[in-house]
Amino acid sequence: MTRQALLVVPLGFWLLLPVDALPAAEFRIAAYNTLNNPDSPTEDAWFRTILSAIGNEQVQGLAKRLDAIALAETDAGSANRLVDILNGLYGVDTYDVVTSSSDGGGDRTGVVFDSSTLTLLDWTDLPQIGWHTMMRARFRPAGSIDPAAEFHLYSLHLQWGNSPGNRDARAAEINRIRNDADALGQRVPIIYAGDFNMSGSSEGAWSGMLSAGNGQAFDAADSPGEWRNNPAFKHLHSRDAAAGMDGRFDFHFLTDEFFDGQGWQYAADSFHVFANNATHTLGGPITTGTAAPPHVLSALAGASDHLPVVADYRYTIPEPTTATLLAAGAIGILGWSALRRRRCRLQSRRPSHLDDLVHGRFGPAQGDVLSDGAVEDERLLGPTAVASTCSFPAGRAPWGVRGRRPVAGSKGPAGKAAWPRRIGLVRRRRRPGCSSWWPRRRGWGPTPSA
């Protein structure tokens, strides 16, 4: 097998498989209601402390800077300040942000993302969901060209309040979100992240997320219950960081594709409320806890009334099926064959052996010149000499040369008889090393004398 053939077999394999030449990758994604902050140098410093601490946090042995943040209760100015903070923190210019349109109160949702790890394919504004405008973004791991590697990230902010009317409003919002998600189709990885404002799993919004359909999703923490003021769920309380930690408002809901063992996967048990290990006082500020250094806890209490919720995700290249491997092998074989044919394909240039032919340095045997008429299965190349890249033996004429005998009195270089510059090659059986275009046998001819 030639070197070219060795290269084309794996090329055919990777062109056909629905995967990328990417290793399994880790991604850290957060949801954070930032209370329209930061908008001052002091708040910039708080968020710099928080975002740095999240990136340095070891979760199951992994410390990683954030790849994406689903923002709730933000605005264009604050979101762009977060981008600047992250770029400055890591000495890069790869962080960027997209935000929804503004709602009636001036709030937006948005997604900050690291373009060196995630490629934003598109995003959709969802102003019709409820009081707050929400959005959906579609991503793919940076460097990937595989559509199967895509996932959707919803940035959500549901209706506030604990009255029956507020609960009904949240349920209606989730119903509209699910309609949007279900329309994306089957087997689509989706993360719903943000401030859900729910008080317990008895709400219609909770059951709406778990209801059947393409966009059916499950709580990453897998913790149904009534969370409000419940000490059993202290470790999941995410509000109020400064005034009193007593409610679970912030979530990641994930479609089943994150639990099926292939492609996008949730890193089991990685979801957590940042800086909350349940050591704080129930109903007290987060600064009464011990889950992070005091300066980090103070920054959290100052930056927002919510704590960020963080989870890690992995994208693993799916293993090919037997059918895919067989098809890939076929592509490889076809590619190899194409490379072999390339060695003998017609090219619009005149090699040195053709110069020998047309100037009479060798030619057909006497009495074995083809007629000037068309020959069956013959490709004519026109008046300009064009030939196959197959080599002719030294001193021999190729089979199937179409032309006339040397014209009397017509001389080429060094007094050789001149042959007409019109040559055809006949498509016949294959020969070793020259797979397709090989001249039809007419017998070898001696080199004409000068």
Residue 440 has pLDDT above 90, yes or no: no
Confidence class of residue 321 from pLDDT cuts 50, 70 and 90? Answer: low
Confidence grade of residue 320 (pLDDT, cut at 50, 70, 90):
low
Q: What is the mean pLDDT of residues 382-386?
A: 37
DSSP notation for 320-389: PPHHHHHHHHHHHHHHHHHHHHHTTSEESS--HHHHHHHTTSS-PPTT-PPPSS--TTEEE--SS--EES
Is the model's pLDDT at 289 over the cut of 70?
A: yes
Q: For residues 197 and 373, what is the distance between their CA atoms, to the nearest angstrom?
A: 87
Q: Give the pLDDT confidence of 8-59 residue by residue, as tens digits.
A: 334 443 344 444 444 569 999 999 999 999 999 999 999 999 999 999 999 9
* 339 pLDDT tier (thresholds 50, 70, 90): low
Handedness of CA 437, 442, 447, 450 (dihedral sign): negative
Position 193 pLDDT exceeds 80: yes
Q: Is the pTM of this model over 0.85?
A: no
CA pair distance 71, 134, nearest whole angstrom = 10
pLDDT for 93:
98
pLDDT value of position 86:
98
Of 160 and 432, the structure prediction assigns the larger pLDDT to 160
Element (H, E) at 314: strand 309-316
Q: Which residue has the higher pLDDT, 374 or 211?
A: 211
Structure-token pair, residue 280: 């704080």
Name the strand (E) or helix (H) holding 41.
Answer: helix 41-56
pLDDT (0 to 100) of residue 316:
85
CB-based contact 127:152 (threshold 8 Å): no
Cα–Cα distance for residue pair 131/136, rounded to 1 Å: 16
Structure tokens at 122: 């598109």
- 213-253: per-residue pLDDT in tens? 999 999 999 999 999 999 999 999 999 999 999 999 999 99
Is the pLDDT assigned to residue 446 strictly greater than 80?
no
Whether residue 163 contacts residue 203, with contact meaning beta carbons closer than 8 Å, is answered with no
Residue pLDDT, tens place only, 303-319: 999 999 999 999 987 65
Tokens coding 9: 């077999």
Residue 59's pLDDT is: 97
CA dist 114 and 153 (Å) reads: 14
Spatial CA neighbour of 107 closest among 79, 65, 68: 79
pLDDT recorded at residue 379:
36
Q: 76-90 and 41-56 are packed helices; what angle lies between their axes, rounded to 10 degrees?
A: 50
Per-residue burial over 151-169, b if 16 or more Cβ lie within 10 Å, else e, is bbbbbbbbbeeeeeebbeb
Helix, strand and coil content of the chain, in percent to the nearest 5, comes to 30, 25, 50
pLDDT tens digits, 15-27: 444 444 445 699 9
Residue 317, pLDDT score: 73
Query: What average pLDDT is seen over the chain?
Result: 78
User: How many CB atoms within 10 Å of residue 252?
Assistant: 26
